[in-house]
Amino acid sequence: MAKKVFSLLVIGNPKDIERYDCHLKVEPYIQYVFANRSKMRETAISAIEVILKDKNLNQVTRDGLRVRKNTIEHMSDFEYYQMVTDGLNYDNDGNALSTENPNGKWVTCQVDEKFYFPLILKETHEKAYSALASEVDWEAMNNKEKEDLYRVTWELCMEGREPQNELEEQIKHNMATTFESYEGYFDDFKNVDEYVTYNTAFFTSAVILNGEWDDSSEYDSKDWVLNYHNRFIANINGGETVTMFVFSTKEEG
């Protein structure tokens, strides 16, 4: 099993992460209902189809999802149920039981100064991994120095401007090889400003706000990034503590 690593912003008590520890054990409960095996397989296929509609997916991810979708489509309902519930215990009705934390989100979660970007403080621009919200320069958290690069990319790919140097030629080549159709990718943005904001705005993969976990997997990727500031940052009480964590999840692979 390979771990994937993500960024997490906790707004409020840093101890709020404890509720989402995958290692917490609870009393046995029914995690999967045997009678729902057909619906489970159909839902899995539908979920992949929704993800595949995201024009922002890179080709490697897209190909992997297509392979997974094809595999599930060629399984029987029972075979899919067996795969999903492998390693779990069953009750007399075939329902799969679990003692794993149903709120579990992370395998490891820590402040890691070697991995993820820190918070940037106002005035001094010192770096920190925990501070009061009022002390953070949220504007400086955006990747402003890359704005010109993304504007040039838009001009080359959407406005038909010819490359003027080797860097611009490489940009256009990279966009053409990364996406099936970069024109389709850019069509997802209303204008150049939205495209630039999407690529330079500060965001994390997940947020804990008022003790509740929220993460990008529940949103369209563009919506998560473009609305991150208004959704989580704009209305923070200045006296709230904000902390940057790195967390890992356990994935098949």
pTM of the predicted model, to two decimals?
A: 0.75
Cβ atoms 11, 229 nearer than 8 A: no
**Is the per-residue pLDDT at 1 higher than 50?**
no
What are the tens digits of pLDDT across the range 199-248? 999 999 999 999 999 999 889 888 999 999 999 999 999 999 999 999 99
What are the tens digits of pLDDT across the range 131-153? 999 999 999 999 999 999 999 99
Q: Residue 253: what pLDDT?
A: 43
d(CA 233, CA 241): 12
Query: How high is the mean pLDDT of the chain?
Result: 91
Nearest residue to 18 (alpha-carbon basis) of 98, 109, 100, 102: 109
What are the tens digits of pLDDT across the range 28-61? 999 999 999 999 999 999 999 999 988 778 889 9
Q: Residue 179: what pLDDT?
A: 65
Confidence of residue 172 (pLDDT cuts 50, 70, 90): confident
The average pLDDT across 96-104 equals 94
Cβ atoms 33, 85 nearer than 8 A: no
Q: Residue 250: what pLDDT?
A: 75
Confidence of residue 183 (pLDDT cuts 50, 70, 90): low
